[in-house]
Structure 1
Amino acid sequence: MRALSLDVVRRYGIVVFFVALVAVSGLVSPAFLHGDNVINMLVQFAPLGIVVTGQVFVILVGGLDLSVASVMATAAVIATGFDGTNASAPEIFAVTLLVCACTGVVNGVLVTQRQVSPFLATFATAVVLEGLRFAYTQGAPSGNVPPLFHEMGTGFVRGVPVNVVMLGVCAVLFGIVLHRSTFGRRVFMTGGNTESARLVGVNPDRVRIACYVISSMLAGLAGLVLSGYVGIVDNWVGRGFELDSIVAAVMGGVALSGGRGSLLGGLTGAAILVIVFNIVLLVGMPVQAQTIVKGLIIVVASACYVVRRRR
């Protein structure tokens, strides 16, 4: 019976904690459960959730992707690099996906073929993208986001934010890929034991490269969504998402060593981050307190990860 209880806590503890956090937040601040505030949290959660979806794939194969924030900002700059009309939307999507795919391939090749640590490889890619972005914009980006992207970032479908609908589609699609497909099984095998995966015919390098491509492309999509929400071009769109996405995944039970975790856990961790940041502001604490809270969450998440790994 005790073993069963521990297994339930290990599997669903993060969901139980999420429900408890919502209940406590509602008691601490009545405004927390107000419709407008809930919508606001959902709008903030959507781009982070999209990035976390890709980050989960990378962490499951034993990697990290620190380039996601820079990819998001690059996508935002691309979104304003055309004529600002909906007619240019296909070109924006095509160029963004191409740049993101190339970024993912570079990250994957550096990690698998050149044996560069994921931290250094993705950090270097982020710096290179930042340099290219600033060279292109001359440090002062300008341009308009097409109305379609405004709709993606701020629009509603039957009372539900469009970006939340997009997150839902991504979560269902990549959840099926991760947990119900042959590729998903290869992801877990690669992260769990690379040599064993190779012995049964899996090419770990290809799986890792594919996961980095997925992460970069989802980060690009999140950057387009966030640029539509902000409404103006910004060289720093998505700043901080690299750490937030990793912390959310680890909080949700995705093992940094790879091979263990779930997409639902990662998305639940992202939702917890959004709720914590929101309640900090609702109780009247300064915006700077978010940084302090984020640091504390990182410490707690790291401690929980160490405990889980020892067990």
Structure 2
Amino acid sequence: MTQAAQSQNQAPQNTLREIARNYGIHLVLVFLIVVTTILSPAFMTGNNISNMLLQAAPLGIVVIGQVLVILVRGLDLSVASVMATAAVVATSFNGQDSDALPVFLVAMAIGLLTGLVNGLLITKRNVSPFLATLATMTLLQGLRFAYTQGAPSGNVPPIYRVLGSQSFYGIPYNMMILVVLVVVFSALLNKSTYGRRVYLTGGNPVMARLVGINSDRITIASYVISGGLAALAGLIYSGFVGIVDNWVGRGFELDSIVAAVMGGVALSGGRGTILGGLMGAAILIVVFNAVLMIGFPIQFQIIIKGLVIIVAAAFYVRKAA
């Protein structure tokens, strides 16, 4: 066979490979939506779509911060604990709209401070991201339980209930907040000096130092942003669930990491996008909802989630290769 003929035979294969590399995560999401719709037509009803968007927004907000820290070769296990602490703060005042600003300021202060501590431990004390964020997660959990005596009480200010659980012409308010954050932080990564330094710090730390980038400062900033976004997600999520306990946001730390990695954000740092991470989050939300809509036992949620991760990760590995 001539070289020209071999090239012609390989052309379709190369095209398929390119499609899998560039759109694999999208194909997984479309496949899940189609299969679930066939098995349960109610999946694509307006009410269910609105419900999925309500659930997706808090996770999406956390994913934005998680993407930033993974891009600088880190990870943040403290985000769920920050969310729960912010939710407890939301019920620690009088439950009136006049308390909305104090609640926001206190919750954000806790989130930003947690991110700062994480960043300082990692950059100045050379603590691994896993241990540093695990430590702050545990510390916040202990402080939360000590403060609430294990049983938080109180009401979330009505404005947070509106933002967390209500919609404007079918579009949830919390999804609007997510869209604004996605636009802001995508522009920050793609158009600003900070974004270029994030990618260089994660992709080639040695080169970053040689060109004069303060990698420690970039890493700390990424963790501070992650902590602040987790606190915001906690306030919004408290309005969605309506009641607050010490485990609000439980599991978001792992779900946000899984979503980011499924969306093509490299754990080795320096490669990935916020939109990719959000695609991963969308897959998780569809899986969670599909299990309930189809009528599977809740245990199947974990099994199917694991299978989806395997399939999506396979596309990611091929793309990385």
TM-score by length of 1: 0.95
What one-letter code is carried by the residue in structure 1 that aligns with 2:241? V
Residue 282 of structure 1 pairs with residue 293 of structure 2? yes
Counterparts of 1:139-150 in structure 2, within 5 Å, are 139-150=150-161
2 CA distance for matches of 1:297 and 1:28? Answer: 17
Of 105, 111, 114, which aligns to 1:103? 114
Letter in 2 for 1:54: G
Counterpart in the other structure of 1:39:
50
Aligned to 1:87: 98
**Which letter does structure 2 place at the counterpart of 1:277?**
F
Cα distance in 1, alignment partners of residues 138 and 188 from structure 2 = 31
Indicate conservation of the 8 Å contact 2:82/2:231, yes or no: yes
Aligned position for 2:82: 71
CA drift at 1:301: 5.1
Which deviations, in whole Å up to 9, do the C-alpha atoms of 1:141-189 show, x marking residues without a partner?
Answer: 1111000010011121222111111111111111111122111111100
Q: Which residue of 2 aligns with 1:230?
A: 241
Deviation at 1:288, TM superposition (A): 2.1
Cα offset, 1:9, TM superposition = 3.1
1:250 aligns with 2:264: no
Q: In structure 2, what residue type is equivalent to 1:250?
A: V
Task: Identify the match of residue 175 of structure 2 among 164, 171, 194.
Answer: 164
SS of residue paired to 1:15: helix
Q: What is the deviation of 1:291?
A: 2.3
Residues in 2 aligned to 1:90 and 1:277: alpha-carbon distance in whole angstroms: 33
CA shift for structure 1 position 105: 0.5
Q: In the alignment, which residue of structure 1 is the partner of 2:305?
A: 294
Percent sequence identity over aligned pairs: 61
The residue correspondences of 1:199-218 to structure 2 (distance < 5 A) are 199-218=210-229
Which residue, 34, 39, 47 being the options, matches 1:28?
A: 39
- The whole-number CA distance in structure 2 between the counterparts of 1:142 and 1:207 is 38
From 192, 213, 218, give the equivalent of 1:181: 192
Match of 1:128 in 2: 139
Q: 2:205 aligns with which of 170, 185, 194?
A: 194
Q: Report the Cα distance in structure 1 between the residues aligned to 2:316 and 2:110, rounded to whole angstroms.
A: 34
> Contact between 1:104 and 1:215, CA under 8 Å: does it hold in 2?
yes
8 A contact 1:85–1:147 mirrored in 2: yes
CA distance in 2, matches of 1:112, 1:299: 32
Closer/same/farther in 2, CA of residues 160 and 236 from structure 1, 3 Å limit: same
Q: Tell me the CA shift for residue 307 of structure 1.
A: 4.9
CA distance in 1, matches of 2:312, 2:249: 22
Question: Which residue is 2:272 aligned to?
Answer: 261
2:30 to 8, 19, 34: 19
Question: What's the counterpart of residue 7 of structure 2?
Answer: none
**What amino acid does structure 2 have at the position aligned with 1:30?**
P
1:239 aligned residue: 250
Distance change >3 Å, CA 255–CA 38, structure 1 → 2: same
Tell me the TM-score normalised to structure 2 length.
Answer: 0.92
The alpha-carbon deviation at position 304 of structure 1 amounts to 5.1
CA distance in 2, matches of 1:177, 1:277: 31
Q: CA deviation at 1:299?
A: 4.5
Q: Which runs of 5+ in 2 are unaligned?
A: 1-10
Alignment RMSD: 1.6
The answer to whether the Cα contact below 8 Å between 2:200 and 2:207 also exists between their aligned partners in 1 is yes
Return 205-214 or 2-11, whichever deviates more.
Answer: 2-11
Contact 1:247 1:301 in 2 (8 A): no
- For structure 1, the 5+ residue unaligned runs are none
Aligned pair in 2 of structure 1 residues 226, 158: CA closer, same or farther (>3 Å)?
same
Counterpart code for 1:90? L
